[in-house]
Structure 1
Amino acid sequence: MRAIWKGAIAFGLVNVPVKVYSATEDHDISLHQVHNADGGRIRYQRRCEVCSQVIDYSDIEKAYEEDGRTVVLSKDELKSIPAENSHEIEVVQFVPSEQLEPMMFEKSYYLEPDSKSPKAYVLLRKALEDTDRVAIVQFALREKTRLGALRIKDDVLVLQSLLWPDEVREVNFPALDTSIRISAQEREMSAALVESMAADFEPASFTDEYQVQLRQLIEAKLEQGESLDTEETFGAEAGEGGKGEVIDLMEALKRSLDRKRGAESGADTKEADADDDGAHEGGDGKAPARGTSRAKASEGKETTAAKKPAAKGTAKTAAAKSTAAKSGTAKAPAKSTTAKSATAKSTGAKSTAAKSTGTKSSAARARKGA
């Protein structure tokens, strides 16, 4: 960044040397004008109305006209104004931040300490932090005396220029003078809609869609040339007008709430499905128990419990059956285990019978030998 101004903050008898930097910048795509017939660049010329000559910037002065009289002011005369030569940011008041009208905020500047020892800078910053106030200042910048607010952002002093009170227009709309009745139900529904959309402000989550789509249009035009099809680039609905006027306020509030709740329900369903998929992928034979726990946590919502066999043991199988029956998602996963148990019993019985037969055979042989 390049400093645009150097000066000092006058904090009582304390002097705080600072450098001033623009805190914001414009990232909009820059477009220029051309002649639509041949693409020739359109340029503006500073042409004199009297002699019709194109005038260099160095030969241009400023003037003021009043009652048919023109007063020409040279650059040197303008620089002689005392306020123009001031490089002091004078602190005049410390006020609570909530007393500042946001509409008065104009442009923001970062202030960097401009001395070998930034102790005075840090002292002023600490004073603002300890008192939880904003410093109101006056300063001159670019041929204008300005009002400003000095506050803190990320341990850096920030100067925000303010509009003068007479620069903020007063407004009086006749339509608001009439008595408009708002019903209790309308207020309740609007409050519910506000609550459903409540969130913490995260600037990084928003995008300048116009600039993104303008870049998309430029890239498509570079690739396709005059054969560009904007419907193909943006979709068939590009260029359609805005929504019609809302006639029934209550109906609009209801539809807004339903749409918001539907969107949230869809998001919850996707999240639940993702959790279930994760449980199946990392399963260890306990998937049905996890599905049952999730069903209890969602208090009666539909759930897709895992379909894996229950854990080993008759007691665990019975517990799984009981839990599945309560959540309404039982699919008899223990059949396989029961069948295996029955098979094992049958096999054991056959083995016992075989042993008994062998014993009888041995006894018979012994009698024959005798």
Structure 2
Amino acid sequence: MRSIWKGAVSFGLVTIPVKAYAATEERDVSFHQVHREDGGRIRYRRVCTVDGEEVPYSDVAKGYELPGGDMVVLTDEDFAELPLPTSRRIEVLQFTPADQVDPIYFARSYYLEPDGDGAKPYVLLRDALEQSGQVAVVKVALRQRESLATLRVRDGVFVLETMLWPDEIRTPEFEFLEDGVQVRPQELAMAGSLIETMSGPFDPSEYTDSYREALLALIESKVEGEEIVRAAEPEEEPAATDLLSALRASVESARKGRAASVGGPAEARAPEGAAATGEAAEKAEKAEKAEKKAPPRRKTPAKSRSRKTA
């Protein structure tokens, strides 16, 4: 791996020199833009809109457009002179339980390796942080952007996870949240049973990128000159007439699928799955009877929606 940043972790009066490496890489199948008729590569030129001349990459700078249309040009030297302490330092701000950080804030992950004589203070902070069960909240500047980030331990090394700022998180303003939608107790009980039936330890190696595999197979068939055969669409089961019936069918399907994945026919493992399904069905039936005996509930009026003015 090639480091993308060098600096130091600032922890009180302790300074830990580190290098940062990208912790992830995308496995997307990459394509070039080509001419459909002959496969020739499509090329783009960097052309200045003022004089119409092609501009070499070494002469390309960044520009910030003002409301009136004027452009403020910023060079690499301008960015290098920014008075930003975090450009070469990961500043520890506080420590907090990991579950208090909403995952929606996370952006990218980086591994940190001790640099030079930083191994001992690195290991000291690593072990202390792991023992505390918390994460460090830090501030760092990477790729011309300052970010909050968390520092946690994974496989014996620090993982720096950059975060979005609060004003970069959108609010889900969906109409159904204001409509007072209600579910019946028996539906909730059956849905809970479905979740329980489908629960298990998470192992990402059990899952594959089916689209990528199909895409690579398509490319290979093109290379070999084979006829491309469209994959058969899976047969769809008839839709259930109501939500509760759909949930019951889903629980049974999940039970059979879990039995098949563990090994052995579903019938041989029926007691465990049947117990879960039967218990949920019993709860749902009791809830349904209770609902019939109870007096009719008034419908919750939908909240008035505020209309935004243009």
| Cα pair 1:111 1:157 within 8 Å, conserved | yes
Cα distance in 1 between the residues matched to 2:102 and 2:5:
26
Cα displacement string for residues 38-64 of structure 1 (whole angstroms, at most 9, x for unaligned residues): 222112221111222221111111111
Cα displacement string for residues 129-167 of structure 1 (whole angstroms, at most 9, x for unaligned residues): 222211111111111111110000011111110111111
Sort the Cα spacing of 1:130 and 1:49 in 2 relative to 1 into closer, same or farther, 3 A. Answer: same
Indicate the structure with greater helix content.
1
Greater RCO (Cα-Cα under 8 Å, separation 6 or more): 2
Q: Which residue of 2 aligns with 1:5?
A: 5
Cα distance in 2 between the residues matched to 1:32 and 1:78:
32
Q: Which residue of 1 aligns with 2:249?
A: 255
- Deviation of the 1:2 alpha carbon: 0.8
| Cα pair 1:10 1:91 within 8 Å, conserved | yes
Cα displacement string for residues 299-342 of structure 1 (whole angstroms, at most 9, x for unaligned residues): 9xxxxxxxxxxxxxxxxxxxxxxxxxxxxxxxxxxxxxxxxxxx
Percent identity over paired residues: 44
Cα distance in 2 between the residues matched to 1:264 and 1:116:
51
Q: Which residue of 2 aligns with 1:282?
A: none
Q: Counterpart of 2:32 in 1: which secondary structure? A: coil
Q: Which residue of 2 aligns with 1:148?
A: 149
- Deviation of the 1:66 alpha carbon: 1.6
**What residue ranges of structure 2 are gaps of 5+ in the alignment?**
272-310
Sort the Cα spacing of 1:271 and 1:237 in 2 relative to 1 into closer, same or farther, 3 A. Answer: closer
- Deviation of the 1:263 alpha carbon: 3.5
Cα distance in 2 between the residues matched to 1:202 and 1:119:
33
Task: Please list, as runs of the form range in 1=range in 2, the aligned pairs for 1:190-269 lying within 5 A after superposition.
Answer: 190-224=191-225, 228-231=227-230, 235-237=231-233, 248-264=242-258
Q: Which residue of 1 aligns with 2:102?
A: 101
**What residue ranges of structure 1 are gaps of 5+ in the alignment?**
274-294, 300-370
Task: Please list, as runs of the form range in 1=range in 2, the aligned pairs for 1:17-166 lying within 5 A after superposition.
Answer: 17-68=17-68, 69-83=70-84, 86-116=87-117, 118-166=119-167
**Number of paired residues?**
270
Q: Counterpart of 1:35 in 2: which secondary structure? A: coil
TM-score by length of 2: 0.79
Sort the Cα spacing of 1:189 and 1:18 in 2 relative to 1 into closer, same or farther, 3 A. Answer: same
Cα displacement string for residues 277-318 of structure 1 (whole angstroms, at most 9, x for unaligned residues): xxxxxxxxxxxxxxxxxx9x999xxxxxxxxxxxxxxxxxxx
Cα distance in 1 between the residues matched to 2:75 and 2:17:
31
Q: Which amino acid aligns with 1:43?
A: R
Q: Which amino acid aligns with 1:33?
A: Q
Cα distance in 2 between the residues matched to 1:190 and 1:221:
45
The structure with more radius of gyration: 1
| Cα pair 1:90 1:138 within 8 Å, conserved | yes
Q: Which runs of 4+ in 1 moved over 4 A?
A: 242-247, 264-269
Cα distance in 1 between the residues matched to 2:270 and 2:232:
41
Q: Which amino acid aligns with 1:38?
A: D
Q: Counterpart of 1:259 in 2: which secondary structure? A: helix
Cα distance in 1 between the residues matched to 2:263 and 2:128:
51
Q: Which amino acid aligns with 1:151?
A: R
Sort the Cα spacing of 1:298 and 1:175 in 2 relative to 1 into closer, same or farther, 3 A. Answer: closer
Q: Which residue of 1 aligns with 2:298?
A: none
CA RMSD after TM alignment = 2.8
Q: Which residue of 2 aligns with 1:14?
A: 14
Q: Which residue of 2 aligns with 1:337?
A: none
Q: Counterpart of 1:47 in 2: which secondary structure? A: coil
Q: Which moved more, 1:144-153 or 1:259-268?
A: 259-268
Cα distance in 2 between the residues matched to 1:218 and 1:136:
45
Sort the Cα spacing of 1:88 and 1:269 in 2 relative to 1 into closer, same or farther, 3 A. Answer: closer
